[in-house]
Structure 1
Amino acid sequence: MAAAVADEAATRRGERGDGEGKAAAGDAGAAFVLESKGTWWHAGFHLTTAMVGPAVLSLPYALRGIGWALGLATLTALAAVSFYTYYAMSRVLDHCEAAGRRHIRFRDLAADVLGSGWAFYLMVAVQGAINVGVTIGSILLAGNSLQIMYSSLVPGGPLKLYHFIIAVASVLALLSQMPSFHSLRYINLGSLVLSVGYTILVSAACIRIGLSSNAPAKDYSLSTSKSEKTFDAFLSVSILAAAFGNGILPEIQATLVPPAAGKMVKALVINYSVAFFTFYPLAITGYWAFGQTVQSNAIQSLMPNAGPSLAPRWLLCLTVVLVLFQLLAIALLYAQVVYEVMEKRVADATRARFSWRCGPCTWRSAHLWRRRCRSSARSWAIC
């Protein structure tokens, strides 16, 4: 990986493309992974998968730390700021493309805009940490989701968390053979539907609980301790800000058929429309139903450690299944940046995509199994 990054730094002026959507000669990463065949609604699917994920289940907990008024105001302000930020970034990419400098990678855009070599390496480090972290986290959470279903079906069964992590990594190793970012468009459409699905299920469960006769006591008061209130406020704002994160917008815009001018705005509208209809209902209903007793994950609030579940078993199992499938899509999406770096280094752009030299099976599977080993090491520590 370090050798690939060093090689890119030396040749990044020649890998930006010709401004008409053609990758620079010999750039297998651009030719195979970041091929430009998508439409604006495909980009909307990618953007939604990158942003709207299981992190939405923590939004009621974020309101717990700062209350109704400030919580919803902060959520709205962060939505507006992040939308404008992504809009401005897409316009910068459009401007560079019109000037003949089409950037298909975040690191190249940073080096061009900031105008120095350190920006390239800084972006490689930051984006790499985010993408690898999201991939590992998705594998861990997906394994945990499988374990929850297994424990409910086979109480006291012999399988441990690391068994499910191995199973998830094996599935991802198969899915990683999808040839390009663009080929994920229908998977990411499915991810969009899944996010809306489990949001509806959890929100409906929270409304049912809040209206029931045995609903938990609703206390919306904040802590009286100044230090605890300050800590809760910082935690809440960080949760809300992270919910709008997207570290691969240039790579997503690279999948659009050139010229991309104006298309990303439509894609962002799709993205934020889905975010609006998932973030707000879940945040409001979850905090309304549980108040200060809400857990860091809305599903945990529905499945308290003491006493029976507060929602029907079928609803909880279906929610966990939807979350599990979406985590696979998220891990696959964020791994594309690593695949692009790997294939730029090892694949031959002059050969057919599925030739032995360019086949993604060995390199991509090796990357995912390396992630699996790290995840399993963490699960061993948990077990």
Structure 2
Amino acid sequence: MAESRPNTEVDLNSWLPITASRKAKWWYSAFHCVTAMVGAGVLGLPLVLARLGWIPGIVAIAVAWLVTWYTVWLLIQLHESESGKRFDRFTELGQHAFGEYLGFWMVMPQQLIVQVGSDIVYMVTGGKSLQKSLALITPQADFRKTYYILMFAAIQLVLSQSPNFNSLKIVSLLAAVMSISYSFIATGASLWKGFGEHHVVHYGFRSTSTVKIVFDIFSSLGVLAFAFAGHSVALEIQATIPSSLGNPSKKPMAKGVTVAYLIVALCYFPVAISGFWAFGNLVEDDVLLSLEHPNWLISAANFMVFIHVIGSYQVFGMPIFDKIESTLVTKWHCTPGRPLRLVARSAYVVFTAFMAILLPFFGGLLGFFGGLAFASTSYIMPCAVWLKTQKPKPWSFHWILCWISMLIGITIMTLAPIGGAHEIIVSWKSYKLFQ
């Protein structure tokens, strides 16, 4: 039976998935952030080293880790105004800083591309990981990749009916545990491979021509941006934490993000270094696809990736569900309730599944989406809002860091989509639709 229709913004917030429950603990934010970041991004980091080289690659990952930690800290501080008003959604913060119309259109398209793009990539990742997992232990299960993506989508159709963000805490915790586990397995298996006999690999540039090398470097910038993707959902995660003037939500959220970033470092650097060391410039865009032995362990790791991206899909999907349902209720005058959620959320899952089947190019998608919008939400927008609202003095600490971060973001946003698009075009030439 449909619920009674809210008549005010406060009533609507009590029903929408982002703000319906504000009982989260600080550790909820920690594993939500781990689930949002570790995943498709970490598996592509060895390829970043293969395309950039040892020292430039490690420096690039370290800089991305430090800068994005700083920018997510900015968002956490900006979540609440001095009066205690909360900006529960990224678009609300943008409107506060730049005005209702301009702020909305500065933030909403970028955030939507990040979240929808992530879910499409997670559809691809989930399907590929399940396919690889089963192929290693049951070679006769040789189905098309499309079927595995459809299996992943079927699970998302069920989970998408979770009423609010906090109802995903068990799913997100399991996903975070899986991400840590398969990162350690990928590191251990890569080291085992590297210490094995006949370990002869090449560490030069993967591509042979200057043009291809340049395109690879561009695409790698997007993969790096994708690897630190929690900013687009940070405010929405913080919105689930209780807050008061005496005990603002920024304190527990900052603690959760600190733990998350330390976990990210423990996953990212070992996977990137060990994967590149073991396979050199021939490493796959998903390092687990390069690993074959022992079969049972690599199969388990791929299955862990499958479980993890189930949670990641929902973490990025919940803010989209919030936008869809809010629009349907306020603009289209639909009645909030289970029928609305069933139709709206199912339609979104079907759409992302179709796009994943149509464009299952993991590496190219990372680079393209990473550069197109992740650079903006992770590097540019938090600093732009901080400069606009806090007005730091020129050449002060935050002024300098904000401008450095924005320049990095603009560079990634300009170059990475070119490399990602090039990779998709090259892959498309040998691709058969719905293979």
| Residues 211 and 150 of structure 1: CA distance in aligned 2, closer, same or farther (over 3 Å) | closer
| Residues 373 and 200 of structure 1: CA distance in aligned 2, closer, same or farther (over 3 Å) | same
Partners of 1:33 and 1:339 within 8 A in 2: no
Compute the displacement of 1:376 (Å): 4.0
Partners of 2:127 and 2:145 within 8 A in 1: yes
Partners of 2:37 and 2:229 within 8 A in 1: yes
Question: Which residue of structure 2 aligns with residue 371 of structure 1?
Answer: 352
2:180 aligns with one of 196, 201, 221: 196
Compute the displacement of 1:124 (Å): 1.7
Partners of 1:107 and 1:123 within 8 A in 2: yes
Compute the displacement of 1:245 (Å): 1.8
Q: Aligned residues: percent identity?
A: 27
Question: Which residue of structure 2 aligns with residue 341 of structure 1?
Answer: 323
Compute the displacement of 1:337 (Å): 1.1
1:323 aligns with one of 299, 305, 311: 305
Residue-by-residue CA offset, 1:1-28 (whole Å, 9 max, x unaligned): xxxxxxxxxx9xx85xxxxxxxx23335
- 2:239 is the alignment partner of 1:254: yes
Distance 1:30 1:100 in 2: 21
Tell me the TM-score normalized by structure 2.
0.73
Map 1:1-383; keep pairs closer than 5 Å: 15=9, 24-27=10-13, 29-30=15-16, 34-94=20-80, 96=81, 98-153=82-137, 155=139, 159-215=143-199, 217-222=200-205, 226-246=210-230, 247-258=232-243, 259-302=248-291, 309=292, 311-346=293-328, 360-378=341-359, 381-383=433-435
| Residues 175 and 264 of structure 1: CA distance in aligned 2, closer, same or farther (over 3 Å) | same
Aligned pairs, number:
348
| Residues 285 and 45 of structure 1: CA distance in aligned 2, closer, same or farther (over 3 Å) | same
| Residues 28 and 341 of structure 1: CA distance in aligned 2, closer, same or farther (over 3 Å) | farther
Gaps of 5+ in 1: 1-10, 16-23, 303-308
Distance 1:92 1:32 in 2: 17
Distance 1:112 1:120 in 2: 9
129-138 or 102-111, which deviates more: 129-138
Distance 1:35 1:101 in 2: 17
| Residues 76 and 375 of structure 1: CA distance in aligned 2, closer, same or farther (over 3 Å) | closer
223-232 or 242-251, which deviates more: 223-232
Compute the displacement of 1:326 (Å): 0.7
Partners of 1:206 and 1:286 within 8 A in 2: yes
Compute the displacement of 1:195 (Å): 0.8
Question: Which residue of structure 2 aligns with residue 306 of structure 1?
Answer: none
Residue-by-residue CA offset, 1:17-61 (whole Å, 9 max, x unaligned): xxxxxxx23335547755211011111111111111132111111
Tell me the TM-score normalized by structure 1.
0.82
Distance 2:215 2:12 in 1: 51
Work out which structure has the larger RCO, using CA pairs closer than 8 Å and 6 or more positions apart in sequence.
1
Compute the displacement of 1:230 (Å): 3.6
Compute the displacement of 1:155 (Å): 4.0
Aligned alpha-carbon RMSD (Å): 2.7
Secondary structure in 1 aligned to 2:23? coil
Residue-by-residue CA offset, 1:108-163 (whole Å, 9 max, x unaligned): 11111122512202322111122112112212221222233344455465732222
| Residues 381 and 109 of structure 1: CA distance in aligned 2, closer, same or farther (over 3 Å) | same
Partners of 2:37 and 2:227 within 8 A in 1: yes
Partners of 2:193 and 2:278 within 8 A in 1: yes
367-376 or 329-338, which deviates more: 367-376
| Residues 206 and 122 of structure 1: CA distance in aligned 2, closer, same or farther (over 3 Å) | same
Secondary structure in 2 aligned to 1:295? coil
Distance 1:195 1:208 in 2: 20
